Amino acid sequence: MNTTALTVEVGVGPVAPEDLLAVARDGAAVRLTAEASAAIERARAVVDALADDAVPHYGISTGFGALATRHIAPERRADLQRSLIRSHAASSGPPVEVEVVRAMMLLRLSTVAGGHTGVHLATAQLLADLLNHDITPVVREYGSLGCSGDLAPLSHCALALMGEGEVMTPDGESHPAAEALARAGLAPVELDAKEGLALINGTDGMLGMLLMAIADLTMLLRTADVAAAMSVEAQLGTDRVFAAELQALRPHPGQAASAANLRALLADSGVVASHRGPDCNRVQDAYSLRCSPQVHGAVRDTIAHALTVAERELAASIDNPVVLSDEGRGDLTSGEPGGGAPGRVESNGNFHGAPVAYVLDFLAIAVADAASMSERRTDRFLDAARNNGLPPFLAHDPGVDSGLMIAQYTQAGVVAELKRLAVPASVDSIPSSAMQEDHVSMGWGAARKLRRAVDGLTRVLAIEVMTSARALDLRSPLRPAPASTAVVQLLREHGVGAPGPDRYLSPEIETSYRLVRDGAVVATAQRHVTLQ
């Protein structure tokens, strides 16, 4: 971690997606703004005033969920908060990725900074301190139903604030939270009335994973256009179908962007030019070539829709109950802190993860389809009946050598898995909390499977890129477009070999995967063309 000197300011407004990525993935530090600190203190003043009220208030002086009818005496309320976090920190399975937990912590801090949750400023500051000291609570795979928010995952984060549970430290090892806090010079907090609930009642886990998936898929769709252009070239396809006038007949913005990329990538291709003219008898290419902008474009438009939902969720203040000002203003972000600021708490259902869960599932469907088309383009290279003069399986000595035959098997296996991952999680609901929480979003599960789907698409595109690169080599002396030439050279420089006798193939596939995953393929192409 700590790979950037950037410090992200967390104020009363939403966190920018790029700032979330900087904190989650690059270890950027965070700092609460003065405005956020004041808003946190104003909201806490409301909670403190209501805690002394003889009338019970949910989340402050009552139990939770199906136990909300029990009034809790003042002397037991610290026990109530500890019990809430300890009992809800009930996840199971392998630990989720550090970047997911950091994203979740930042988003909860952002909600707290909005001034509607009622935590103490010291609690919010400790959450920021954990991020700044690279202390990451261990959160396990299973436990969230996506309603009331990501309860179990966020409870593991809150548990660390109490100095309990497990955390990962900069040495990459798991340690008791109390030990890690002491080593960093930090003291745990004792959660006060409402604080426990305020720290766990949000969609932060699923939202963080959605934002990271959007960033990854934005890059991967450019990679898909690069892969498709290389495949069109090497399979002696035509670029005429990508003409702007044809694409404008169906004015989807994603389609237009993808087609523009294909035109740019195929410009100045000696391979395409070699069969452009009156002697060409290719009337139409297969759908996997000809319809690349339509499919890639539809995925792009799905990503754009998901980003709209994510940006709305970033602007939300999700907690239950939520702290509001008097007279329905709902605004505690201005005015002077302290002095028993007038206000109230109100129960609500904003923690339900349906809006996020739906787009997580939608993206998984789009990812599966993009990967399916990539696999079909790859398969055409390997069939001598369809690859326009290339050797079977692009093998050096077909029969003795199998070439890339089994690389396509690997692709097909991944695509099959992606189709299973495309089954929506959000259509399921298992009631919980004695039927009080009788409809849940399953958004966490949708997010977890989308992460696996994004990784699968990366692997499928990597195999298409290395296959099309080998095919372009076999078209020599015809010269590919400049971007394609550069991508082929990138692969060769990193040990993905040129055509030749069979060799141990798995390391080359993994190298191609890393070059796609890390954005090197796109960056190399973009040195020659501007990609949308």
Regarding whether 231 and 143 lie in a shared domain, the answer is: no
Q: Provide the 8-state DSSP code for 401.
A: B
Regarding whether 156 and 13 lie in a shared domain, the answer is: yes
Distances (CA, A) of 317 to 1, 82, 110, 125, 206: 28, 24, 9, 18, 15
Give the pLDDT score at 380.
97
d(C-alpha 128, C-alpha 110), whole Å:
10
Q: Provide the 8-state DSSP code for 341.
A: -
Stretch 412-434: mean pLDDT, rounded? 94
Residue 452 sits in which domain range? 211-275+285-307+355-429+436-525
Give a yes or no: residue 318 inside a domain.
no
Q: Is 142 known to be catalytic? A: no
Q: What is the dihedral of CA 80, 82, 84, 89, to 10 degrees?
A: -170
- Percentage above 90 pLDDT, the chain: 81
Give a yes or no: residue 368 inside a domain.
yes
Give a yes or no: residue 321 inside a domain.
no
Q: Kindly report which listed range (15-19, 207-211, 348-352, 365-369) carries the lowest average pLDDT score.
A: 348-352
Give a yes or no: residue 329 inside a domain.
no
- Could you tell me which of 309, 388, 421, 294 has the C-alpha nearest to residue 356? 309
User: pLDDT-based confidence at 65, cuts 50/70/90?
Assistant: low
Please check the confidence at residue 331 and state whether its pLDDT lies above 60.
Answer: no
**Per-position b or e across 219-251, b if 16+ CB within 10 A of its CB:** bbbbbbbbbbbbbbbbbbbbbebbeeeebeeee
Stretch 80-97: mean pLDDT, rounded? 94
For residue 105 the two structure tokens come to: 């912590």
User: pLDDT-based confidence at 325, cuts 50/70/90?
Assistant: confident
Give a yes or no: residue 375 inside a domain.
yes
- Percentage above 70 pLDDT, the chain: 94
User: pLDDT-based confidence at 73, cuts 50/70/90?
Assistant: confident
Give a yes or no: residue 345 inside a domain.
no
Q: Kindly report which listed range (54-63, 77-86, 257-266, 292-301) carries the lowest average pLDDT score.
A: 54-63
Q: What is the pLDDT of residues 230-270, one digit of tens each?
A: 999 999 999 999 999 999 999 999 999 999 999 999 999 99
Q: What is the pLDDT of residues 390-418, one digit of tens each?
A: 999 999 999 999 999 999 999 999 999 99
Distances (CA, A) of 64 to 49, 86, 87, 158: 20, 14, 12, 16
CB-CB contact of 326 with 342 (8 Å): yes
Regarding whether 97 and 244 lie in a shared domain, the answer is: no
Q: Which of 163, 182, 202 is the last residue of a domain?
A: 202
Stretch 63-86: mean pLDDT, rounded? 80
Average pLDDT, the chain: 92
Give a yes or no: residue 491 inside a domain.
yes
Give a yes or no: residue 253 inside a domain.
yes
Q: Where are the beta strands (DSSP E) in 97-172?
A: 136-137, 140-142, 166-168
Q: Which of 202, 232, 263 is the last residue of a domain?
A: 202
Contacts of 175 by beta carbon, 8 Å cutoff, 6+ apart: 166, 167, 168, 169
Give the pLDDT score at 66.
64
Q: Which of 202, 232, 249 is the last residue of a domain?
A: 202
Contacts of 215 by beta carbon, 8 Å cutoff, 6+ apart: 17, 21
Please check the confidence at residue 477 and state whether its pLDDT lies above 70.
Answer: yes
Please check the confidence at residue 341 and state whether its pLDDT lies above 60.
Answer: no
Please check the confidence at residue 278 and state whether its pLDDT lies above 90.
Answer: no
User: pLDDT-based confidence at 335, cuts 50/70/90?
Assistant: very low
Give the pLDDT score at 340.
43
Give the pLDDT score at 12.
94
Q: What are phi and psi of 7, to 5 degrees?
A: -115, 125
- Could you tell me which of 483, 462, 484 has the C-alpha nearest to residue 473? 484
Regarding whether 260 and 182 lie in a shared domain, the answer is: no
Regarding whether 22 and 99 lie in a shared domain, the answer is: yes
Burial class (CB in 10 A: 0-12, 13-18, 19+), 155: buried
Regarding whether 230 and 193 lie in a shared domain, the answer is: no
Regarding whether 74 and 182 lie in a shared domain, the answer is: yes
Regarding whether 220 and 77 lie in a shared domain, the answer is: no
User: What count of other Cβ atoms lies within 10 Å of the Cβ of residue 185?
Assistant: 8
Regarding whether 145 and 190 lie in a shared domain, the answer is: yes
Regarding whether 377 and 468 lie in a shared domain, the answer is: yes
For residue 518 the two structure tokens come to: 């890390």
Regarding whether 295 and 375 lie in a shared domain, the answer is: yes
For position 150, which CATH number holds?
1.10.275.10
Task: State the catalytic residue, choosing from 58, 142, 409, 504.
Answer: 58
Q: What is the pLDDT of residues 152-202, one digit of tens each?
A: 999 999 999 999 999 999 999 999 999 999 999 999 999 998 999 899 999
Stretch 68-90: mean pLDDT, rounded? 85
Regarding whether 518 and 407 lie in a shared domain, the answer is: yes
Residue with the bigger pLDDT between 460 and 430: it is 460
For position 301, which CATH number holds?
1.20.200.10
* Cα 421–chain centre separation: 15
The domain total for the chain is 2
Stretch 219-238: mean pLDDT, rounded? 97
For residue 101 the two structure tokens come to: 């937990």
